[in-house]
Amino acid sequence: MKVGTDGVLLGAWCPTGTRILDVGTGSGLIARMLMQRFPEAEVEGIDIDEAAVEQARENGVKAFVSSLQEWQGTYDLIVSNPPYFQNSLKNPDKGRQTARHTDTLSYAELIGHSARLLKAHGQLALILPAEIEAEVRQLAAAEDLYLTRVTRVYSKVSKPARRVMLLFEITRSRDHEITIDSLILENETGGRSEAYSALTKDFYL
């Protein structure tokens, strides 16, 4: 599987945890990034694609073949770059189809089962298409997951947001506030912006 910008962004952006679960780990990109950022953390990855799990293991990730719906455990951070095509033509490659479509893990299931696995004050970090932000925020609220941070991702200043990164917490803190910011990926010449370079400097050569 290719190294995608979405996974790199989420792996560099999300907070720390002592027990971390990467849902839909694929090749283990996000899990590896978190292992690099937080060496003391226990990082696990799950995926329903056996070939993907084998690749993640080859990349040094503690990975398991499992759906989120069947997985058991407790975590203080769950991260996911989930499938995001809901009503579109499917890729004939079954591995890519599973990675890109929500048939096997709907957003409602992702939110609900993440809430089930999170410890008190545990957090859920997601990167999603910008157009489904409102839907996912509503689903999270129904599971008593409280939004704490929103980062909207723009390819260029002149274009609308293409992705959004959301951070939820399972328990509302007394001084609950939502941090809202943005990230522009390209500068005027088409290269990486300073903000993007600063966020991902430890991962790009």
pLDDT at 94: 47
pLDDT at 176: 77
The 10s digit of each residue's pLDDT in 113-159 is 999 999 999 999 999 999 999 999 999 999 999 999 999 999 999 89
Neighbours of 200 (CB within 10 A): 18
Report the C-alpha dihedral over residues 167, 48, 101, 196, rounded to 10 degrees: 40
Phi-psi region of 56 (alpha: psi -120 to 50; beta: other; left: phi over 0): alpha
Question: If the chain, 205 residues long, is cut into consecutive pieces of 10 residues, what is the mean pLDDT of each piece?
Answer: 83 96 96 96 97 96 97 97 60 46 80 96 96 97 95 94 96 80 93 94 80
List domains and CATH numbers for the chain.
5-200 (3.40.50.150)
